């Protein structure tokens, strides 16, 4: 991957939006699928929201799906305790539910009806949100932590990277740091990497190609 180039968040969002608008979904999928991956303290939702705003004038609607709405119930997340770093990385996210409710409906023969969230971790019960019928051309952006290396069929993956020091400075709990270190060491690089140790001075790899 080339050395990161200094840039700004608006420039990242605008460039990504133009790139995404031109993408053809793989495997004849009905909709383009994008990951915005990063620790909660990296604020990946901010980039997802900016992407949606940039895509709209390009004629592309966006559905943002926070992965936090697809965490497992507390009894499963905390099976090994509430501060187990390996469980936090490997077991908190309900990958099967994301496939079933988000990715499978986007396939060529899918229904096009997506569930935007499944589980309310605050109340520890199902959200009961209605399904969303996607208009043609809608881009689906899944945003959250630890999205890579799970076989999710993303057409473009964006990772906001923070060093251990930056994670700590921004308030990541100490017990979570080994999970992020393991993740950095094990996952294949994203298509696009944004280095954001200095929140107001990001640097990035640019878009593929």
Distances 187 to 42, 70, 103, 147 between C-alpha atoms, Å: 18, 21, 20, 10
| 36 and 160 Cβ atoms separated by less than 8 Å | yes
For the chain, how far is it from start to end, CA to CA, in angstroms? Answer: 11
- For 5-194, the fitting CATH number among 3.40.640.10, 3.40.50.300, 3.30.200.210, 3.20.20.10 is 3.40.50.300
**Which H or E element spans position 64?**
strand 62-66
Can you tell me the distance from the alpha carbon of 25 to that of 155, in angstroms, rounded to the nearest whole number?
6
Q: How confident is the model at residue 49 (pLDDT cuts 50, 70, 90)?
A: very high
Looking at residue 192, its pLDDT comes to 98
| 173-189 confidence digits (pLDDT tens) | 999 999 999 999 999 99
Could you tell me if 149 and 109 are in contact, meaning their C-beta atoms sit under 8 angstroms apart? Answer: no
CB atoms within 10 A of CB 162: 22
User: Quick one: pLDDT band at residue 3, thresholds 50, 70, 90?
Assistant: confident
78-122 pLDDT, tens digit each: 999 999 999 999 999 999 999 999 999 999 999 999 999 999 999
Note whether 160 and 196 are within 8 A (CB). Answer: yes
- Write down the pTM of the prediction: 0.97
Quick one: CA torsion of 182, 186, 191, 192, rounded to 10 degrees?
20
């Amino acid at each position: 991957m080339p050395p990161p180039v200094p840039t700004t968040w608006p420039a990242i969002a605008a460039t990504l939006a133009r790139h995404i608008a031109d993408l053809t979904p793989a495997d004849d999928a009905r909709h383009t699928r994008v990951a915005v991956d990063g620790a909660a303290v990296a604020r990946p939702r901010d980039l997802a929201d900016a992407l949606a705003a940039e895509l709209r004038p390009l004629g592309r609607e966006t559905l943002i799906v926070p992965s936090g709405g697809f965490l497992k119930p507390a009894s499963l997340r905390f099976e090994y305790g509430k501060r187990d770093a390996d469980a936090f990385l490997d077991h908190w996210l309900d990958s099967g539910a994301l496939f079933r409710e988000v990715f499978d409906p986007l396939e060529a023969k899918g229904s096009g009806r997506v569930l935007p969230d499944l589980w309310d971790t605050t109340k520890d019960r199902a959200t009961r949100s209605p399904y969303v019928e996607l208009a043609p051309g809608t881009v689906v952006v899944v945003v959250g932590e630890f999205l890579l290396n799970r076989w999710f069929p993303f057409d473009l993956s964006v990772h906001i990277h923070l060093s251990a020091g930056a994670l700590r400075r921004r308030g990541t709990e100490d017990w979570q740091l080994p999970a992020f270190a393991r993740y950095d060491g094990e996952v294949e690089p994203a298509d696009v990497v944004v280095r954001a140790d200095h929140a107001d001075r990001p640097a990035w790899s640019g878009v593929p190609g």
